[in-house]
Amino acid sequence: MLSRLFFALFFLFVTALCGYWLNGSQGFWIAGFGILLALLFNDYEKGYRLETWLRRGDPTADVNLTGFWGELVNRIRRGFKARDQIAAQHQQRLQEFLSAIQASPNGVLLLDDEGRIEWSNQTAALHLGLHEQRDVGQHVVNLVRDPAFTRYVAQQDFSAEVIIEGRSPSLSQMLKLQVQLHPYGENKKLLLTRDVTARAQADQMRRDFVANVSHEIRTPLTVLSGFVETLQSLPLSADERQTYLDLMAVQATRMQGLVSDLLTLSQLEGSPPPPATECVDLKSMMAQIKSDAMALSAMQGQSEKAVHALTFELPEHLSVCGARVEIHSAVSNLVNNAVRYTPAGGQIEARWTLGAEGQATFSVKDNGVGIAAEHLPRLSERFYRVDRSRSRESGGTGLGLAIAKHIVLRHGGSFQVQSVLGEGSCFSLDFPSNRVKLTPTPASSELLSA
C-alpha cells in the first residue's frame, strides 16, 4: 500500500516537472491535475469492478485485478472461504445434533412463543400422532387434545411433568406418556415426551400383587379368626373342638404354602443364574414327584388311591444340569397343577423328551377342561386365575406357574402353554442343549403308570 502511494506521488511529481519544463508554472499545474484525474479514474474503474464482483456474490468469478486491488480480491476470497468453512462446520454440527435427537428414545418438540410447533423428532411424532413436516406451524394444543395436557399448558407451571395417553398403534395396548415443558430462549418452549407404559404396567402389577397377596392371606386369616373366636366363646365337645382345629390347621398350611411360594419367587428374582456344572438325577427326582402326585390325586378324590391315570416317562440316558431344588420345584408345580385341575378319572402324562438339536423338554399333558385362548398369555402371572372359586377349592396359591417360568428362564430355557377349551392342556419346560447331558448308555425309556 505504501509503495503504491509512493509510486503514484513520484509519478505525479515527475509529470508536473515535465509540464513545468514545457510551459512553466501553468504547465506544472495542468500536468499534475491531469495525472491526478487519470489515477483517480483508474482507481474508480477498479473499485467499480470490485463492487460489481461483490454484488454478484460469486467469489470464484475472475475479476482480472492486479496490484493492490488484486491483493484485496484475494483477501476477500480467503475471507469468503473461511466463512463458508465455518458455516459448513456449523451445519455439520447441527445435522449431528438433529441426528442425535432423532435417535433419542424420548420425543422432542420445539415450540415458538405462541406454542406452535417449529420442529419435531420422529419419536415425538409417533408418541403424539403428529406429522413431522405437515404439522409444523400448528398449535400443539390443537393437535394433542388430552384434557390433562390442555390444563397443564394453561396453568403455565411446568415444574413437574404430566401423564397423558399417547397414540398407540394397537387398540389392545394403551400408551402412557410422561410429558413436560421446559421454557428456553425468548418465551420459547421445549416439549419432552417419554414412554412410561412399561413403568405404568409395572406399577399396576405391583398394586395388583399387593392386593392379591392381601386377599389370599386375608381369607385364611378370617377363617382362623372365626374358629378361634368360636373356640373361645362356645362350649364344644371334644369331637367338635378337634374338627375346628383340623380346619384351622388346613388354613394355616395354606398360608404357610403361600408364604413359602412368595419367598421362593423372591429368591429366584434376586439370585444369579445357577451354574451348569451339577447334573440332576432325574430318575430319583421323578420318582419322588410321582409319589407326591399320586398322594395328591388320592386327596383330590378323598380316597386311598389315585383317582387319575398318571403316566411318567423318562429316558434313562438323559440328565439336566442346574439347581436341583429349582428344577424339582418347576417340574412338581406343573405335575401338581395338572392333578389339581383335572377331574377325577382324567389322564395325565408327564414325560421328558430329547429334541433334535440336543435340547430337553419336560411336558405335562392332561385331558381336563382346558383353558380359553384369552387366558393363555397371562397364565404365568402371579395370582392370575382362570376360575378363582375353583382355584381356591383345589388348594393352589396361584404362584406355581410363575415359579416354574422363572426357574426355566433362569436356566436359559422357555415356558410354553398349549390348551384347547374342553380338550385339555399341555405345559412344557424347554431346557437348552448346554444344560443337557447324555450318558453313553443306549437310549431307553422307563415307563411308569399308575
pLDDT tens for each residue of 72-127: 777 877 887 888 888 888 888 888 877 888 888 889 999 998 899 998 898 888 88
The CATH H-level superfamily of 104-195 is: PAS domain (3.30.450.20)
Cβ atoms within 10 Å, residue 279: 15
Q: Are 321 and 446 in contact (CB under 8 A)?
A: no
Q: Are 128 and 193 in contact (CB under 8 A)?
A: yes
Name the phi and psi angles at 137, rounded to 5: 95, -10
The x, y and z cell numbers of residue 311, run together, are: 403316566
CATH C-level class of 201-271 = mainly alpha
CA distances from 138 to 180, 186, 208 (A): 19, 19, 41
CATH C-level class of 273-449 = alpha beta
Q: Which residues in 98-224 belong to E strands, given as ranges? A: 107-111, 117-120, 162-165, 176-184, 188-195
Q: How far apart are CA 117 and CA 33, in angstroms?
A: 67
Containing 3, the helix (H) or strand (E) segment is: helix 2-56
Q: How far apart are CA 381 and CA 386, in angstroms?
A: 11
Domain boundaries, the chain: 2-98, 104-195, 201-271, 273-449
Q: How far apart are CA 110 and CA 189, in angstroms?
A: 6
**Count of all residues that appear for the chain in the document:** 450
Q: What is the per-residue pLDDT for 331?
A: 93
pLDDT tens for each residue of 216-260: 777 778 888 888 888 888 888 888 888 888 888 888 887 887 787
Q: Tell me which residues of the chain have a pLDDT lower than 50.
A: 1-2, 390-392, 441-444, 449-450
Q: What is the per-residue pLDDT for 449?
A: 46
The x, y and z cell numbers of residue 243, run together, are: 374338627
Q: How far apart are CA 331 and CA 428, in angstroms?
A: 9
HEC sequence for 147-184: HHHHHHHHHCCCCCCEEEECCCCCCCCCCEEEEEEEEE
Cβ atoms within 10 Å, residue 366: 25
Q: How far apart are CA 230 and CA 73, in angstroms?
A: 110
Q: What is the per-residue pLDDT for 46?
A: 72
Indicate the residue type of 280.
Answer: V
- Match 515527475 to its residue by C-alpha cell: 14
The x, y and z cell numbers of residue 413, run together, are: 430355557
Quote the pTM value: 0.55
Straight-line distance from the first to the last Cα atom of the chain, in angstroms, rounded to the nearest whole number: 115
Q: How far apart are CA 100 and CA 423, in angstroms?
A: 54
